[in-house]
Amino acid sequence: MREEYIQAITTIDTKEDAERIASALLDRRIAACVQLVGPIRSFYRWKGRKETAEEWICFIKSRMDLYEQLEKAIKEMHTYETPEVIAIPIVIGSRKYLEWLEAEMKKK
């Protein structure tokens, strides 16, 4: 049961955009919880150059079977040319928490 759940991650450059994505994912019932952390400082390579940027991280709790919808929604709303959208399976977790996660994505 537990491997059905994921924590997806994306980063974005403003708090307002992070909040907009979080709200939309909850409204669409493809996430039960989105936690925002930031600002952080990211260092990365982009088109052959070293870059740095201030960003916000979105930690998104969802289900594995919703990943494609989640990725599509993030890409539709994201301001980056190539946004980070990755997911980590939740291999173990509190039964009550996972039941809550499942229930919140089903309510209408």
Round the average pLDDT of the chain to a whole number and report it: 94
**Which CA distances in Å does 74 have to 4, 16, 30, 84, 91?**
20, 14, 11, 9, 24
* pTM for this predicted structure: 0.93
Please give the pLDDT value at position 104: 86
Average pLDDT estimate for 43-56:
97
Examine the pLDDT at 2 and tell me if it is beyond 60.
Answer: no
Q: Binning pLDDT at 50, 70 and 90, where does residue 108 land? A: low
Please give the pLDDT value at position 107: 67
Q: For the chain, how big is the Rg over CA atoms in Å?
A: 14
User: What structural domains does the chain harbor?
Assistant: 2-106 (3.30.70.120)
pLDDT digits (tens, 9 = 90+) for 86-104: 999 999 999 999 899 888 8
Residues in CB range of 82: below 8 A, 6 or more apart: none
Average pLDDT estimate for 66-86:
97
pLDDT digits (tens, 9 = 90+) for 7-32: 999 999 999 999 999 999 999 999 99
Please give the pLDDT value at position 97: 92
Q: Of 37, 98, 23, nearest to 64 (Cα)? A: 98
